[in-house]
């Protein structure tokens, strides 16, 4: 058994070792607390890709052709031969005017023509006889000349009577008022028994051709100039033989199944609004669309062969409105970049400058990092995982 002094010495040594071990543990913990773990962020690697650019414009539909039905002769309407709102064919009889007086005019003109022909026959025979008699000096030359003149006069009378007969027959035909074009006829302005006059100002009905259909839209000159510059410098390539394609969005938000083509842009600018009129032609085989409907047209401007898209969640704004993103380099160091964006495509921005292929952009954890910090990548998306461009492009709030 150890004596008391030795036992005391051992006890003191054990306590000292315990205290030293505790101090070492404390220092190690404190050292670990002084070196925090890098912040985790999500990034996406940007790669250029062909981007189809579209512009959404508001407009209204209008009929391809409109014809107002008017009478060309006067009279009483005896029959209306169509149903309001139905489809009619060119040449189809719509109204019938009482033809009795016009039939009588045809008969009078026909009789006048027969009379002129009879007189011409007599004058011709006389002229032939006089032509033989003048050769033997049996009549004077004056008598022969008078006979020839009389023959020509009667021939002119025949031509005049024939023209009057033709005019009477035309007026008789006009008693049947026919459709000038194919289309859908609207409300009739008159009923049977109404008196109409030739070339009256009030139309009897209107016919509208609904297939195809026009869509009239308006575009600002600023957008038009931007489009022309992009086409000139080659950053934008047109499709469909330089004809822009158009997709219609209806009032309920649904897309119209038929695609149209932009036909022309007006040659002048509205000075009061600074807008240019655009017209597109859209197939309407089932006549689903009607004139006057409000629509939105997605006009395909063309394709940018090397477009660069950045997710909208990655873009922040400075107090003065500049667009910025946080990027991560090969050493996982954060940097702040100013970028220029032009328009939104789905949930992404189209980048004009400030970024290039292969750059990694932070999409989550932006609020936790600052330029110069080292971060740890927790998720990295590939370009294939980014959403595709299926929605119309809209201009950005600014062009920074």
Q: What is the pLDDT of residues 216-267, one digit of tens each?
A: 988 888 877 876 776 676 655 565 555 677 889 998 888 999 988 877 777 7
Q: What residue ranges in 200-293 does DSSP mark as E strands? A: 205-220, 245-249, 260-265, 275-282
Closest-CA residue to 347 (of 298, 391, 303):
391
DSSP 28: H
Mean pLDDT of 38-57: 85
CB 161 within 8 A of CB 116: yes
| 108 vs 1: CA distance, rounded Å | 163
Phi, psi of 161, deg, nearest 5: -65, -35
Reply yes or no on whether the pLDDT at 1 is more than 80: no
Q: What pLDDT does 298 receive?
A: 85
Tokens at residue 266, please?
A: 């007006």
Task: Give me 268's structure tokens.
Answer: 């002048």
Domains detected in the chain: 49-61+211-395 (2.40.30.170), 71-98+175-202 (2.40.50.100), 100-173 (1.10.287.470)
What's the predicted TM-score (pTM) here? 0.63
Does the CA dihedral 290-296-298-299 come out positive or negative?
A: positive
Q: Quote the pLDDT of residue 302.
A: 72
> Given a cut of 80, is residue 389 above it in pLDDT?
no
Lowest mean per-residue pLDDT among 64-78, 106-120, 295-309 = 295-309
User: Please, are residues 336 and 371 in contact by the beta-carbon 8 Å criterion?
Assistant: yes
Judged by average pLDDT, the poorest of 16-20, 187-191, 338-342 is 16-20
CA distance linking residue 154 with residue 299, whole number of Å: 69
Residue 25 has pLDDT above 70, yes or no: no
Supply the pLDDT for residue 273. Answer: 81
Q: Measured between alpha carbons, how far is residue 397 from residues 163, 318, 354, 367 in Å?
A: 72, 13, 17, 22
Residue 23: is it exposed, middle or buried by C-beta count within 10 angstroms (0-12/13-18/19+)?
Answer: exposed
The answer to whether 188 and 53 are in contact (CB under 8 A) is no
> pLDDT above 90 covers what percent of the chain?
42
pLDDT of residue 84: 94
């Amino acid at each position: 058994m150890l004596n008391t002094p030795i036992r005391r010495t051992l006890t003191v040594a054990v306590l000292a070792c315990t205290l030293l071990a505790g101090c070492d543990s404390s220092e190690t913990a404190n050292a670990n607390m002084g070196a925090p773990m890098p912040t985790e962020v999500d990034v996406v690697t940007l790669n250029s890709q062909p981007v189809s650019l579209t512009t959404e414009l508001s407009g209204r539909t209008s009929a391809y052709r409109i014809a107002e039905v008017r009478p060309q002769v006067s009279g009483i309407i005896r029959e209306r031969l169509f149903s309001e709102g139905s489809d009619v064919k060119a040449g189809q009889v719509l109204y019938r005017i009482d033809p009795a007086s016009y039939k009588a005019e045809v008969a009078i003109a026909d009789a006048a023509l027969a009379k002129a022909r009879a007189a011409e026959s007599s004058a011709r025979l006389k002229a032939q006889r006089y032509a033989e008699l003048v050769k033997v000096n049996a009549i004077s030359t004056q008598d022969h000349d008078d006979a020839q003149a009389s023959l020509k006069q009667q021939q002119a009378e025949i031509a005049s009577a024939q023209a009057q007969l033709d005019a009477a027959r035309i007026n008789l035909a006009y008693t049947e008022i026919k459709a000038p074009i194919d289309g859908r006829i609207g409300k009739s302005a008159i009923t049977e028994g109404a008196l109409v006059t030739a070339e009256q100002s009030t139309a009897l009905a209107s016919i509208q051709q609904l297939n195809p259909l026009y869509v009239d839209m308006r575009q600002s000159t600023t957008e038009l100039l931007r489009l022309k510059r992009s086409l000139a410098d080659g950053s934008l390539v047109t499709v469909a033989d330089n004809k822009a394609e158009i997709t219609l969005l209806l009032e309920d938000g649904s897309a119209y199944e038929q695609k149209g083509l932009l036909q022309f842009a007006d040659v002048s600018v509205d000075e009061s609004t600074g807008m240019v009129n655009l017209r597109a032609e859209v197939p309407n085989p089932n006549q689903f669309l009607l004139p006057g409907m409000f629509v939105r047209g997605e006009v395909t401007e063309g394709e940018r062969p090397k477009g660069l898209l950045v997710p909208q969640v990655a873009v922040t704004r400075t107090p003065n409105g500049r667009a910025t993103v946080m990027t991560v380099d090969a050493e996982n160091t954060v940097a702040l970049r100013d970028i220029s964006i032009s328009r939104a495509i789905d949930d992404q921005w189209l980048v004009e400058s400030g970024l290039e292929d292969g750059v990694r952009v932070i999409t989550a954890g932006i609020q936790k990092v600052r330029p110069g910090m080292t971060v740890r990548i927790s998720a990295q998306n590939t370009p294939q995982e980014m959403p595709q461009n299926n929605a119309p492009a809209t201009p950005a709030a600014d062009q920074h």
